[in-house]
């Protein structure tokens, strides 16, 4: 396998993961929550509006209805073999980083080291109070109670450290990404992401310009497929274990 050989020779590797990876664990994507019908939630809103920063301020109970749906889905599933294979790659390659769009925390659960993990859309837990900043680790307990969840100390409204629609990407995560991109990557592997954000395009382009290796694993071709050295048209679950076993 060309991809296994390229990863074997690479030192600095960036693995970019998206919803397709966790879909293999049975998780819905952002756009798959809310009983969507023709792109609209049961509340008659596009999910991009229901799950947005402005909605959390205007109608916390409504926004939380959809955060809770994501939360229940994440707590009800587990990392899959591909998450574990990526963590194994990071053990073999101490300069292998993971950049994920997923908020489920499955990379950490599978053993990816937090110091080489960039969660660009944040994570669903622990919750924190928007009024006093107190941290509350009881996501699953709160999901059993009336929403929105309230702070034990000041009764302020809690929220997850996740990037909702119309919110900024976390500064620290972006800084880390730029620092690591500046050092360069020998290989960039994208898995299960169809989005075309600059934070995906840029590392891929930079690796190519610098003569590095790029590959994509996705059931369907995407906007970046044509720019990759290798396109593997399958699910991560089907290839990652095999791929890592050859490195
Ligand atoms: Zn509080």
- The enclosing domain of 137 has a CATH number of 3.30.1600.10
Residues 227, 107 share a domain? yes
The pLDDT value given to residue 139: 96
Asked whether residue 210 falls in the same domain as residue 100, the answer is: yes
**Three-class SS of residue 100?**
strand
Do 17 and 41 have their domain in common?
no
- For residues 146 and 241, state if they share a domain: no
Q: Average pLDDT for consecutive 10-residue bins of the chain (247 residues)?
A: 94 96 82 58 86 96 94 93 98 98 95 97 95 97 96 97 95 96 96 86 93 95 90 94 93
User: Which residues are known catalytic residues?
Assistant: 121
Q: How far is the CA of 4 from the centre of ligand 1 (A)?
A: 49
Are 171 and 222 within one domain?
yes
What is the model's pLDDT at position 38?
55
Give the span between the Cα atoms of 106 and 172, in whole angstroms: 20
Q: What is the pLDDT of residue 34?
A: 52
Q: Are residues 197 and 208 in the same domain?
A: yes
pLDDT at 79: 97
What's the pLDDT at 28?
73
- Span from the CA of 61 to the centroid of ligand 1 (angstroms): 17
- Could you tell me the residue range of the domain that residue 224 belongs to? 2-26+79-124+165-245
Query: 150 alpha carbon to ligand 1 midpoint, in Å?
Result: 8
The residues facing 162 across adjacent strands are: 122
- What is the total count of domains within the chain? 2
CB 71 within 8 A of CB 27: no
With beta carbons less than 8 A apart as the criterion, state whether 193 and 200 touch: yes
Residues 13 and 97 in one domain: yes
- 22, 31, 43, 125, 194 from 49: Cα distances, Å: 23, 11, 11, 22, 21
For residue 129, how far is its CA from the centre of ligand 1 (angstroms)?
5
Last residue of a domain, one of 102, 137, 159: 159
pLDDT for 32 equals 58
Asked whether 73 and 99 are in contact (CB, 8 A), the reply is: no
């Amino acid at each position: 396998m060309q991809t296994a050989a390229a990863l074997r020779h690479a030192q600095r590797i960036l693995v970019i993961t998206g919803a397709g990876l966790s879909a293999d664990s049975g998780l819905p994507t952002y756009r798959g929550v809310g009983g969507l019908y023709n792109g609209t939630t049961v509340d008659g809103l596009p999910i991009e509006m229901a799950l947005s920063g402005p909605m959390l301020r205007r109608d916390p109970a409504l926004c939380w209805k959809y955060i809770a749906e994501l939360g229940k889905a994440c707590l009800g599933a587990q990392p899959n073999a591909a998450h574990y294979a990526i963590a194994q790659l990071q053990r073999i390659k101490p300069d292998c980083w993971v950049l994920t769009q997923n908020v489920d925390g499955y990379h950490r659960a599978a053993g990816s080291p937090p110091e080489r993990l960039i969660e660009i859309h944040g994570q669903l837990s622990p919750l924190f109070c928007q009024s006093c900043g107190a941290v509350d680790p009881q996501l699953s307990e709160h999901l059993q109670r009336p929403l929105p969840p309230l702070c034990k100390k000041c009764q302020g409204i809690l929220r997850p450290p996740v990037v909702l629609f119309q919110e900024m990407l976390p500064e620290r995560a972006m800084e880390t990404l730029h620092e690591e991109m500046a050092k360069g990557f020998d290989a960039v592997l994208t898995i299960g992401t169809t989005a075309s954000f600059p934070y995906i395009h840029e590392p891929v382009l930079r690796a190519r310009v610098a003569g590095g290796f790029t590959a994509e694993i996705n059931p369907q071709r995407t906007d970046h497929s044509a720019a990759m050295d290798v396109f593997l048209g399958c699910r991560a679950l089907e290839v990652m274990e095999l791929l890592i076993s050859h490195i």
